[in-house]
Amino acid sequence: MRKISPILLLLVATAIVSSAQRSIPGRQSSEMDVEHTKWIDGVMRSILTIKPGATRKDLLTIFTEEGGISSRTHRKYVYKQCPYIKVDVEFAPIGKQDQPFIEMPEYKVITISRPYLEYGIFD
């Protein structure tokens, strides 16, 4: 019977352990994951710039209006770079109260929801 070299045995064991670790979900970090994480970090940072007190005009630099039911004081917005990232925003209307359907750029954000994911609404 032929004797196996300890070095060869160590190399085979290392290859098996290394291969097993790569197949465990969540244990592998690829360049694509790093790039996605960086992109999401940038998205979150840009969304966090919109706070209560910001104007609708400020909001529209990052978001665009979503379809569906809305009013001049409440609307859903979609992140411009990805149509699945959304926020719900409530506004304090200012100016003429006799035009209930006109949304003005000067309206102030009262609340903005946390960003969430949702398929598009088209109407």
Instruction: Assess if residue 31 is contained within a domain.
Output: no
Burial class for 92, CB neighbours closer than 10 Å (0-12, 13-18, 19+): exposed
Taking Cα atoms as reference points, which of 65, 59, 91, 69 lies closest to residue 78?
65
pLDDT at 123 over 90: no
What's the predicted TM-score (pTM) here?
Answer: 0.70
Domain count, the chain: 1
Predicted local confidence at residue 7, as pLDDT: 59
What domain range includes position 89? Answer: 51-123
Instruction: Assess if residue 36 is contained within a domain.
Output: no
pLDDT single digits (tens) 40-91: 999 999 999 999 999 999 999 999 999 888 888 999 999 999 999 999 999 9
Which residues have CB under 8 Å from 13's CB, separation 6+?
none
Instruction: Assess if residue 27 is contained within a domain.
Output: no
Instruction: Assess if residue 23 is contained within a domain.
Output: no
Instruction: Assess if residue 44 is contained within a domain.
Output: no
Label residue 98 by pLDDT band (50, 70, 90): low
